């Protein structure tokens, strides 16, 4: 299997899907500059730089998707989604339903998210829960280059608007990526490690932290199951419930702030459907309800680290 | 006969007159229904009929339309069935969007009326994308995007014009300047008198036309559409008109200057058109009355159709989310 960074896996997915389907095109703030090879292969009509105007980038994608194209847009950093909120939430997410099904909106929005660059809160803000809360949208967040490729390819083929959050801390980490037409279906979590004592559920960069925590827990004789959600919407409730039903303990981990985060939904969902299987309270680990500082150690402190995850899980198992 | 050619003969002026009457009668029915409580608050375009009819009649069958909350004129001029429109406004099953749109966001794909939005300015943000589809997929039609002077004050207007000019997108921007932006007069909100002035900043040709003169609008729109077709570049047409009724029914318009309203009432586009046709010998008073009767009976039929159309069945909680995703 070839080894690619997550960034290159995204490029490979774009190239393969543009090759497969003439209707796929990509535009955004510098995509034609940064992914020169796409311009060379597909030409400047299908790979375009745009003005720095997130609203019109997203709106153009919505209009194009509604009338037959399959655009992928690159909005750079997640906080800039605020400028594209109206187009994605009020138009892309709603107009299929409101038109009585006359239109559909196959578009993909790429953004970078999370800690790892040390440039402060206006470039680092994990906004995925906002979009999970918006009807009509789908949301994915890969933790590996293989999933980045597979999820993005599936997202491009999906007939609905999909937001793809790329964790900046993972962007240049290499990983094995299967050759050929590798697809990861939206809405299917991956169980990365089996264990019967506690379930660790996560997505994005904290998946790796959960795996490290599971190693530390194993050394203490605690077997942790690790689930990478990959898709936040649709959410693989079945995978989470099946695991928690076996282990009876759940720790949900994400970098985004805890308050009204995706973890809150997962905790509530498990409490609703598997309460009687729980042997201990559900624990959620997430960032503080605060903008992220730029200084590297302060930035990292907002991300649940392996030690904290292992400590939380061990407490549950001992309690 | 195709209207795509700039040399195509203009439509029969009596048809334009009839379309304007139909829009007025349709919206009068909405006003009545609104007052009676059978129709929810609705934005009418009373007084703006010439602007809608003139522009829509300059478009060809391949052209696509994006519109906003004040869309009845555009839809009816495009040939929408008033019964299905009314059914949509009343939340009935036989409406164009199965009762999910209501009055504010009606789209009718079969008529090329796509992506209606009531987020002020969102139609401008999507128009570039629709035009991009037309060019990338090699489709012949241009894209007409209707919006108000209020929408022109949104950032999306400026972003849209800039991108359309940069990317050579065939968009006919149609600003219906009805002098009001909900409850704010345009003079309180705009740094310039006219929206067409702003187009120059993006290198986009623009003109302001008397929006209450259907002939003038039609001529300007035919010229504008031909320009867009020929150059593949955007063009902005501003129709200078007036919203005679309130922003949203019911509205007592206590905030409107009486002299301003009288000035525009005296320039009613339908009365002006009738007088002109009669003076030119192209219509007799008796013919006008016959057309009025025909329109009244169409609206009557439409109302009966809409009232007879059932409400959509009350779905289960799970079914409520049906159709959100493709
Ligand atoms: C983004 C947004 N802001 C405010 C509103 C509320 N609103 C609906 S119509 C309207 C006035 C729009 O004025 P204009 O664009 O001039 O169109 P007109 O109603 O005059 O035809 C307003 C403020 C809205 N629907 N969307």
At A52-93, the pLDDT tens digits run: 999 999 999 999 999 999 999 999 999 999 999 999 999 999
Tell which residue, A85, A82, A77, has the closest CA to residue A59: A85
Q: Do A103 and B114 touch (CB under 8 A)?
A: yes
State the distance from the centre of ligand 1 to the C-alpha of B259, rounded, in angstroms.
24
Tens-place pLDDT, residues B238-293: 999 999 999 999 888 999 999 999 999 999 999 999 999 999 999 999 999 999 99
Segments of chain A assigned to CATH 3.40.50.970: 3-176
CB A100 within 8 A of CB B96: yes
Residue-wise pLDDT tens digits, B62-84: 999 999 999 999 999 999 999 99
CA of B128 to the centre of ligand 1 (A): 20
Ligand 1 proximal residues by C-beta, below 6 Å: B 69-70, 118-120, 147-151, 178, 180-182, 243
Listed in order, the ranges of chain A carrying CATH 3.40.50.920 are 190-318
CA dist., res. B62 & res. B220, Å (int): 19
Angstrom distance (rounded) from CA B311 to CA B326:
23
Say yes or no for a CB contact (<8 Å) between B162 and A65: no
Tell me the whole-structure pTM to 2 decimals. Answer: 0.94
Catalytic residue flag (residue A40): no
Q: Please indicate whether, in this complex, the C-beta atoms of A91 and B162 are within 8 angstroms of each other.
A: no
Q: Which of B136, B96, B142, B139 is nearest to B116 (CA)?
A: B96
Which of A27, A32, A67 is the mutation pick for testing B, counting most B CBs within 10 A?
A67
Q: In DSSP terms, which residues pair with A317 in a beta bridge?
A: none
Closest CA to B186 of B239, B152, B150, B238: B150
B8: pLDDT confidence band, cut at 50, 70 and 90? Answer: low
Task: Give me the half-sphere count of Cα atoms (radius 13 Å) on the Cβ side of residue B269.
Answer: 34
**CA pair distance B77, A270, nearest whole angstrom:** 54
Closest residue in chain A to residue B64, using alpha carbons only: A67
Closest CA to B3 of B59, B54, B52, B78: B59
Does the domain at residues A190-318 carry the CATH identifier 2.30.30.110?
no
Distance B70 CA to ligand 1 centre (A): 10
Helix (H) or strand (E) holding A314: helix A306-318
Taking the centre of ligand 1 as the mean of its atom positions, its distance from the CA of residue A124, in whole angstroms, is 33
- Kindly state the tokens that stand for B3: 């209207």
pLDDT value at B59 more than 90:
yes
d(C-alpha B105, C-alpha B282), whole Å = 37
pLDDT score for B4: 47
Asked whether the beta carbons of residue B124 and residue A59 sit closer than 8 angstroms, the reply is yes
Is residue A145 within 8 A of residue A173, CB to CB? The reply is yes
**Ligand 1: centre distance to CA B120 (Å):** 5
Chain B hits for A23, CB-CB cut-off 8 Å, are: 136-137
Give the number of other Cβ atoms within 10 Å of residue A64's Cβ.
29
- Please list every residue in chain A whose beta carbon sits closer than 8 Å to the beta carbon of residue B124: 59
**Is the confidence at residue B6, as pLDDT, over 70?**
no
Ligand 1 atom 3, closest CA: B120
Q: Is A227 helix (H, G, I), strand (E, B) or coil?
A: strand
- Distance, in angstroms, between A89 CA and closest chain B CA? 11
Residue B7 pLDDT > 70: no
Q: For B112, which residue in chain A has the nearest alpha carbon?
A: A67
* Contact (CB, 8 A) for A89 and A109: no
Q: Cα–Cα distance between B289 and A204 in angstroms, integer?
A: 70
- Match 């259907």 to its residue by tokens: B214
Task: Please say if A209 is a catalytic residue.
Answer: no
The CA-atom distances, in angstroms, between A158 and each of A16, A108, A246 are 15, 9, 33
Instruction: List helix spans (H) across A158-231.
Output: 206-219
**Mean pLDDT of the A102-123 span:** 95
More confident of the two residues B35 and A232? A232
3-state secondary structure of B318: coil
Is domain A3-176 in CATH 3.40.190.10, yes or no?
no
pLDDT at A202: 98
Atom of ligand 1 nearest to the CA of B70: 21
- For B244-301, the DSSP string reads -S-SSSS---TTS-HHHHHHHHTT-HHHHHHHHHHHTTS--HHHHHHHHHHHHHHHHH
Q: How much is the pLDDT for B274?
A: 96
Task: Give the separation between CA A26 and CA B121, rounded to whole angstroms.
Answer: 24
pLDDT at B117: 85
Instruction: Convert B27-56 to b/e letters by CB count within 10 Å (16 or more is b).
Output: bebbbebbeeeebbebbbbbbbbbbbbbbb
Residues of A in contact with B160 (CB under 8 A): 56, 59
Domains of chain B (ranges, CATH numbers):
13-301 (3.40.50.970)
pLDDT value, residue B115: 84
**B97-141 residue pLDDT tens:** 999 998 888 999 999 988 888 999 999 999 999 999 999 999 999
The catalytically annotated residue of A87, A123, A128, A265 is: A123
Instruction: With beta carbons under 8 A apart, name residues in chain A contacting B326.
Output: 96, 104-106, 159-160
- The answer to whether B163 contacts A53, with C-beta atoms less than 8 Å apart, is yes
From B128, B142, B29, B139, select the one nearest B87 (Cα to Cα): B29
Q: Say whether A58 and B125 touch across the interface (CB within 8 A).
A: yes
A68 vs B contacts (CB less than 8 Å): 133, 137
pLDDT of residue A200: 98
Are the C-beta atoms of residues A21 and A65 closer than 8 Å to each other? no
């Amino acid at each position: 299997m070839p080894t690619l960074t997550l960034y290159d896996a995204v490029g490979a997915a774009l190239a393969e899907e543009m090759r497969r389907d003439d209707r796929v095109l990509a535009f955004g703030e510098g995509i034609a500059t940064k992914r020169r090879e796409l311009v060379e292969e597909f030409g400047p009509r299908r790979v375009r730089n745009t003005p720095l105007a997130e609203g019109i980038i997203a709106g153009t994608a919505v209009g194009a998707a509604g009338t037959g194209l399959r655009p992928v847009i690159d909005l750079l950093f997640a906080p800039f989604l605020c400028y594209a909120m109206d187009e994605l939430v009020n138009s892309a997410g709603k107009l299929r339903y409101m038109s009585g099904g006359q239109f559909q909106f196959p578009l993909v929005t790429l953004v970078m998210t999370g800690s790892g660059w040390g440039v402060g809160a206006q470039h680092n803000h994990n906004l995925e829960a906002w979009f999970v809360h918006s009807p009509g949208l789908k949301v994915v967040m890969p933790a590996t280059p293989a999933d980045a490729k597979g999820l993005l390819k599936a997202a491009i083929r999906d007939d609905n608007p999909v937001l793809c959050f790329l964790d900046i801390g993972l962007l240049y980490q290499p990983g094995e990526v299967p050759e050929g037409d590798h697809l990861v279906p939206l809405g299917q979590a991956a169980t990365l490690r089996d264990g019967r004592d506690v379930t660790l559920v996560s997505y994005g960069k904290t998946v790796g932290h959960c795996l490290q925590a599971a190693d530390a827990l194993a050394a203490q004789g605690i077997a942790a199951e690790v689930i990478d959600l990959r898709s936040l919407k649709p959410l693989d409730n079945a995978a989470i419930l099946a695991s928690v039903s076996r282990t009876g303990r759940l720790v949900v981990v994400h970098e985004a702030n805890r308050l009204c985060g995706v973890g809150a939904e997962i905790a509530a969902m498990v409490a609703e459907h598997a309460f009687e299987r729980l042997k201990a309270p559900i624990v959620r680990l997430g960032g503080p309800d605060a903008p992220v500082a730029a200084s590297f150690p302060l930035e990292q402190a907002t991300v649940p680290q392996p030690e904290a995850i292992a400590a939380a899980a061990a407490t549950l198992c001992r309690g | 006969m195709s209207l795509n050619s700039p040399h195509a003969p203009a439509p029969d002026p009596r048809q334009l007159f009839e379309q304007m009457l139909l829009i007025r009668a349709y919206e009068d029915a909405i006003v009545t229904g609104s007052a009676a409580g059978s129709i929810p608050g609705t934005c009418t375009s009373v007084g703006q009929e010439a602007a809608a009819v003139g522009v829509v009649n300059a478009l060809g069958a391949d052209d696509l339309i994006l519109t906003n909350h004040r869309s009845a004129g555009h839809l009816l001029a495009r040939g929408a069935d008033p019964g299905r429109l009314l059914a949509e406004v009343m939340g009935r099953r036989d409406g164009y969007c199965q009762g999910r749109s209501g009055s504010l966001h009606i789209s009718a794909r079969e008529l090329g009326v796509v992506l209606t939005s009531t987020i002020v300015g969102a139609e401008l943000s999507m128009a570039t994308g629709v035009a991009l589809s037309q060019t990338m997929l090699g489709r012949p039609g241009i894209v007409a995007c209707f919006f108000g002077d209020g929408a022109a004050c949104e950032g999306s207007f400026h972003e849209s014009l800039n991108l359309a000019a940069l990317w050579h997108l065939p968009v006919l921007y149609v600003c219906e300047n009805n002098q009001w932006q909900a409850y704010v007069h345009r003079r309180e909100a705009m740094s310039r008198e006219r929206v067409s002035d702003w187009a120059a900043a993006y290198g986009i040709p623009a003109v302001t036309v008397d929006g209450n003169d259907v002939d003038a609008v039609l001529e300007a729109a035919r010229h504008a559409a031909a320009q867009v077709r020929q150059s593949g570049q955007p063009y902005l047409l501003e129709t200078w008109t007036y919203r005679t009724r309130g922003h949203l029914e019911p509205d007592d318009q206590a905030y409107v200057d009486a002299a301003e309203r009288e000035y525009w009432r005296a320039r009613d586009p339908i009365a002006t058109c009738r007088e002109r046709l009669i003076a030119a010998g192209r219509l007799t008073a008796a013919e006008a009355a016959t057309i009025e009767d025909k329109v009244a009976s169409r609206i009557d039929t439409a109302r009966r159709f809409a009232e007879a159309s059932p409400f959509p069945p009350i779905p289960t909680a799970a079914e409520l989310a049906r159709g959100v995703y493709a």
